[in-house]
Structure 1
């Protein structure tokens, strides 16, 4: 396969030497940062358009960038004139003569390949084991008789959550030991920490009340997305109000008993009490309120009746948000997947949690600094050319072209 340099030479035979050096430098120094051909087009597309003149349109420039992007993805950066190639399988060094292969380089290549395979294996293991978190995770908590009496009496009306001296384990691994957490009503808290320390497990322990939370406090854990099944989107939102769902379920059970002649005498009184509670929480207005919330998040009436399994991950994430807005819980637990950074009068989006955001932001700043330095170097090259041939009539058109290029930079 042709290298990026060969592609540039063949597609732009009249490319200026300084421009050529600049483009190849950007391609090889930042190859790991190009996640798609769009990133490569954004980095060098405009400059290549200037070089091509009228010989290539936007589609032509993109096609060239696609070829170079494919080359970067299939080859490693060149070092000291030799290509470093990752091996598809281990090679017996004794079978290859030193006249053709540098043994140290080959060993390094094998080590890199082994490391990548181990990393991929770890990711696959995490993916297959993640659904078992709730089955393997456990929590224990110390409590006082005073708290137990207050809870059982129903006199505890505080919406503060105070959990003291609790442990959380995952199998044989202790995630938290003798920990305390205090959540004051009306406050908003961010839970941060390195991946694997137990942030999501702690949220799930709270959501499932494996850790003791006052019974009168309603909880909702918004995970990364709603699970896909045959439940219609609107019903999925309605089910997030567990109080309403429990009352409706009990109402159906009692009505069925009465209709079947299996009533024992108290069912009518219980039904009357349930109807009163349903009226108190305005249960009849719930479908309309859920529909309005879904519409605000982009769900059409037809989409609201579709099974959740028919939606992509992004739409299921919207469903999770709709459930949170509809349920209006006393304690909302969010496992966020994205961060929006407000700075310099602009908004930048980052995929991942807060820790990933910090890492990605640092990498983005570093890449911007590298790009700036490369651009400054290129500007310097252009300026040298302009200063040298400014008054040369034979180079007037080239000088004008360089001046325009400098203005755009």
Structure 2
């Protein structure tokens, strides 16, 4: 093998030692296989050598030298294989003759026992007779949950609790298998049954015994659209995940679909991917094809027998059964309007920004954000009885989010959506569920604004009741303390003691922790501050992305840049910052101008292995750790959060670190690309207030209609290759989008 190693290094002098050792070891493995009577019959030496050649070439090897080396090794191995095969044809396979037949049988029994142990559902490891478990898993799950609850309550902290192996079984399943497991095909068993969901008094845990809901009740009326709101990290996504996996008791006849993560890209066209998402339709069409093929086979088989023979009667009975089943399949496909499926799928994709051309591209060609849209399109196409959406507008532009809201307003089944987008919830929600303090509070008949106002009134009332009771308690206690041992007043003191004991125990009202952002006030600059004059840009002169753009950003500007994804919004921001150079026109900026840029993918610019304090001190040196911690605290990164690795922070917390770093450059102009993503309600309120009070200019790309309406005074629209000021508010722009939709409700793309 040392000679092969030398030959490999001579052919590829700069080869990494690890790759060289792997290549030599692989050749050694092939060489050993030529000596084995079984492996040698399955060995394809040219194919194996081709793999080694491709490995060495990809590692920097010269193609000619590598191919010469490959031919030499292949000749040697082929000769060795032929010699061994010739030897075996004379001597036979002596390796197996050395083994006693009883030993072989014993080994086979041991192997069978090991396989049975791996495949069984045993809960206890033992060396005696293998016994199949008879434990009821549902009862075991309930018992384990009770134990975990007791342990967590006793420790009053996060605990590690190892549950039964039966519960911890993990199996990787493809989408179709998981869908059918959660939603078995229903041929009428659920007809007429209520699709309301009511789950009484349940607890929900996450991670290592951390409880997120205690004695909670979940009530979802069929046909209502619920917005689930609450602070980051409170467990909203965990609740959706538990519902999607039927970990909570949801009737089997209610179909569920959860848009949780982007789909895995492959060679499937986008349109076909959406069609395949309806696994019921896919399975029924497949069954339809198989039944028709079998019926055709039966017709052909019947010709081979006499008409009165038993074989013909048996085939006719099978044919009748198949015909009956085929009718059921056709009826089910008719209920699903299967014949209209492709048009409906294309309409949904187009509304979410997929052009007619891109609908036929493989899913692997799309970026993460577009694959998330594809997941959303698949869910809308399936029309489940319970649709679960987690922050669906995070990857959408204003036209797509407008289309989605418009589509969901007429969604016929139950919708439960986690979102911090106020305008989106205002448009689609019929009810709000507020998750906090391990409980769920319902605000029926409320969109987000009415929930927010009602909740504020509730908090004021609860606070007033609590304060009044505390005052009464204090007054009674003072009298008791003063006259408890006074003979003349003892009866009155006893009366007040009884009154105090009868007072209901009120908990102080829960209020979300309020945070504030503040951007430092920059010094004044003389205009022009930042201007684009007749700017055109494209990655090639014959294909312009933007043309003849004029824009002026001043110290008091509040500009929202909107438009469909891919129309050049982020490109325009990069031109303003000097990252992209225009092909034509000019960019004029004040020489003292400082720009603070918040990137949509700001995490890419962070060192996730550092903590927030360390990262900021490396990026903006010159302050003490205490000063950095104080600064981060003003953006809600308090206590130990500032010293945790950035990778362990939530998406909203990472965004707050990014905003905190913006301030340290004391910018005159803030350029923000999707600043609202991942922020919860308190974070959005803090950002809105900070931007309104900022003394510099603001230019933002955002899909958050509520933020745009609160902060921005001007709406600029990117479409048809240019950027123009829109004559109206962001709500006027949404009306403009819907007015330009076709009859099917699909937003026209520019």
TM-score, with length taken from structure 2:
0.27
Structure with the higher helix share, 1 or 2 = 1
Which structure is richer in relative contact order (CA contacts within 8 A, separation 6 or more)? 1
Q: Give the number of the structure whose alpha-carbon radius of gyration is greater.
A: 2
